[in-house]
Amino acid sequence: MGRPTPPSGLLHQLPLEVLIVIFQWVLFDSHTFWQKIKASLALSQIDRQLREVVCKTPLLWVYLTCPPASSPQVKGGPNLTQLLKLVASRSASAPLQIEARQVKFRDLSSLFEVVCKPSQVSRWQTFKIAYDDRSTGPFLNRYKDDLRQAMDPLFSLLWSSRPRMEYLTDLVICQRDVDATSPGLFGKPWRLPIAPNLIRMLIENAEISWSETPFYPSLVELTLKNPLSGYNEPGGPNLTRFLERQTSITTLKLLGSFATVECLTDRFTMPNLVDLHLMVEGPFNTDFLCNLNAPNLDQLTVCPSLKGWGPVFWDKEKASQLKIKTVKELIWYQVTEEDFIHIKDGPLYILLAANISSDACIRRQSD
């Protein structure tokens, strides 16, 4: 009886196309970008023949990120900059997936040193970054200096050349633990890139130069949570003009504090908007829903905190100006069955229910 065939021997018997699909599934099963990088490296070390297949398959090397701040780097391995350069070189000309979430600043510097090179910028397909402001504590100034230094290659790229990113489809910029009393974390606001194929964008607590933001002809989903304006910019008018320019948006999510919508005081039109989420904290009036002209609005989702929308509900003149007649589905988000009973007696429910389509569905969603 012959010796059993080792696993790598079985892999050698598979067609090249099947092998590549299997390797891609290994990466798909790796949840974080850092795990995907480690998976690609592990696959390249099975044996010499498979290493050649792995190293010459660019789609296995398109993920660029840093190790989580909570996990130390492997001792004795190549430094992070060298590792990321290796990964980027093996990706050849494939579109890049870039992510940095809660990472060490020195690692962030290594990432931007690699991905902000002109040869790489044009290949960005997804770019997602989340960082802390941490505007308290004895090390505040040192923290901010370190963060600015780490982000400098990225801001230099955005402000010096205004790159055109043909592949970019997903953009996420999140600043956590923001302190609104000390704006200007980087000395200048974010300047968003030119990206004609951008599909989804999420901005959270980040200062944006809205007046310089370009038209995104492919943008269909936009999420704004406490969007801040750049220095010396009137936030509301510029943000309103930005929204009106993005005529392809079908889903708009406004989250965070009531200021997210309170600054939108001018009338504007979003011709293709179908799905609107209003999940903001604190009371504010209904001027936003009066100013927004969305002739194809079909679904409106609101959050329980909107119960505080105050006495304006009894203003009949304003109520008649609400532009939500086309809504076919009104969803109360994160609401228990017990709370929904009380919400039905509230002024917000009465107002919205009276101003939507008579055959509209009104329901709750627990999560």
pLDDT by residue (tens digit) across 235-255? Answer: 567 888 899 999 999 999 998
Token look-up 């936003």 returns: 288
Does residue 208 or residue 263 have the better pLDDT? 208
pTM: 0.87
DSSP state of 98: E
How many residues are given for the chain? Answer: 367
Residue 177: per-residue pLDDT: 58
Structure token digits, residue 311: 């006495």
| 87/105 Cα distance (integer angstroms) | 20
pLDDT digits (tens, 9 = 90+) for 91-131: 999 999 999 987 888 888 899 999 998 889 999 999 999 87
Give yes or no for residue 176 having a pLDDT over 80. Answer: no
pLDDT score, position 56: 92
The pLDDT value recorded for residue 272 is 97
Q: Which pLDDT tens digit goes with each residue over 183-207?
A: 556 777 888 999 999 999 999 988 8
Distance of CA 159 to the CA centre of its chain: 21
CB 17: neighbour CB atoms within 10 A? 8
Grade residue 13 by pLDDT with cuts at 50, 70 and 90: confident
Q: For residue 306, what pLDDT is reported? A: 55
pLDDT of 4: 43
User: Average pLDDT, whole number, for the chain?
Assistant: 82
Residue 232 is predicted with a pLDDT of 45
* Banded model confidence at residue 75, pLDDT cuts 50, 70, 90: very low
> What pLDDT sits at residue 310?
47
Long-range contacts for 208-215 (Cβ within 8 Å, ≥24 apart)?
A: 209/233, 210/235, 210/238, 210/239, 210/241, 210/242, 211/238, 211/241, 213/242, 215/245, 215/246
Task: Report yes or no: 356 and 330 within 8 Å, Cβ to Cβ.
Answer: yes
Kindly state the helix (H) or strand (E) to which residue 32 belongs, with its residue range. Answer: none
Name the more confident of 242 and 263: 242
> What Å distances lie between residue 222 and 54, 68, 88, 97, CA to CA?
36, 27, 29, 19
User: Number of helices (H) and strands (E), helices first, in the chain?
Assistant: 14, 15
pLDDT computed for residue 339 by the predictor:
82
Buried b or exposed e, range 165-198, using 16+ CB within 10 angstroms: bebbbbbbbbbeebeeeeeebbeebbbbbebeeb
Token digits of residue 275: 């799905």
Does the pLDDT of residue 47 top 60, yes or no?
A: yes
Instruction: Give percent above pLDDT 70 in the chain.
Output: 80
> Which residues, at least 6 apart from 181, have a Cβ–Cβ distance to it below 8 Å?
135
Q: Are 60 and 43 in contact (CB under 8 A)?
A: yes
Asked if residue 321 lies in contact with residue 290, where contact means CB atoms within 8 angstroms, the answer is yes
| C-alpha distances in Å from residue 339, one per residue of 275, 333, 342 | 24, 11, 5
Judged against a pLDDT cut of 80, whether residue 321 lies above it is answered with: no
pLDDT at position 282, please? 66
**pLDDT for the residue 140:** 54
Q: 312 pLDDT exceeds 50?
A: no
Higher pLDDT, 145 or 225: 225
Give the count of alpha carbons within 13 A of 257, CB side only: 10
